[in-house]
Amino acid sequence: MLQIADFIVPCPFLLAPLAGYSDLPFRLLCREYGAGMCFSEMISSHGIVYGQRKTLAMLASVPEERPVAIQLFGSDPEIMGKAAEILARFSPDCIDINMGCPVPKVTKNGAGAALMADPQLAERIIRNVRERSGLPVMVKFRSGLDFKHITAVSFARMAENAGAIAVTVHGRTWTQGFTGKADRSIIAQVKKAVSIPVIGNGDIDSYLDGLAMMHETGCDAVMIGRASLGNPWVFKESGRPNQPALILQGVLRHLELIERYLHPTDRMLGLIKNIIGRYFKHFYESGTLRKRIYNATSYADLKTMLFSIKTNYHNK
């Protein structure tokens, strides 16, 4: 159990903000499977301020997923402040500011990891978001710009002084992107340098590995990203089940949540097939099963096929 500001996180294993994946159905599924807190995919401050329908739809939440953090990105302190003020009307438990995304379409506009090159601007953004929203603010960033500029410690101190109630440190530099290996020693240095909770991130692929990161770095919690895709069991000590029927049970629960909160399913068929296909990696007959999933021509056909597969495994 972890206390952040005035809310309790029941488990120190958190779902990362994954663009295109950390929507409401997936967050609810991960909470059901043990995640202590989930973060929305990163949401554009401009999209919120200008009332873009698709952007506002990403703010949907329900009480069952509490506590929840909405992640915001942008590089203009005024726009970020306005967006935070609007976001506060949706009553998330926390706003998380993305200062770590290395993707060019984000950094070319000065947002994400590019903000690590301008700590003064980053500080103005944190203060504006905190003051305009009245909500607790967290900040997610990387070890530095590159190997010659490892600035996570000073950046974390700046975030704490600006009013951040916790920080998440990804152990790679901006230039590394998602290549190479995350450096856990940087996370340990940040933990020693600040008094607020520190969340470790990068390369965690299992519950036991998350425990190892906390032991090695002293961090208060860990954030799991890519390893959770098709594998919500990563938040459980028991890990991914070996029984196909149990995996299919998780798949069908995910579909149930998609049906409840995302519409219309047939228009989203390509995205749904991509999400579901991930469950069948490293799975007996995975190639055949995934081919059947990707060849489905409607959501109804996809769901019928998955129920049939689950029944067959139960009868074996």
pTM here is 0.94
Domain 2-235's class? alpha beta
Tell the burial category of 101 from Cβ atoms under 10 Å away from its Cβ (0-12, 13-18, 19+): buried
The position carrying tokens 């230039």 is: 175
Identity of residue 255: L
pLDDT tens column, 246-300: 888 999 999 999 999 987 787 889 989 999 989 987 776 777 888 888 888 999 9
Task: Report, as residue numbers or ranges, the catalytic residues.
Answer: 101
Comparing 106 with 7, the larger pLDDT belongs to 106
Radius of gyration over alpha carbons of the chain, in Å? 20
Residue 315 has pLDDT above 60, yes or no: no
Q: What is the average pLDDT across 1-21?
A: 91
**DSSP secondary-structure letter at 6?**
T
pLDDT at 286: 74
Report CA 110 to chain centroid distance, whole Å: 21
pLDDT at 6: 85
Confidence label for 313 from pLDDT (cuts 50, 70 and 90) = low
pLDDT tens column, 156-210: 999 999 999 999 999 999 999 999 999 999 999 999 999 999 999 999 999 999 9
CA pair distance 153, 175, nearest whole angstrom: 18
Q: Which residues contact 260 (CB under 8 A, 6 or more apart)?
A: 25
**Cα torsion through 123, 131, 225, 154, rounded to 10:** 20
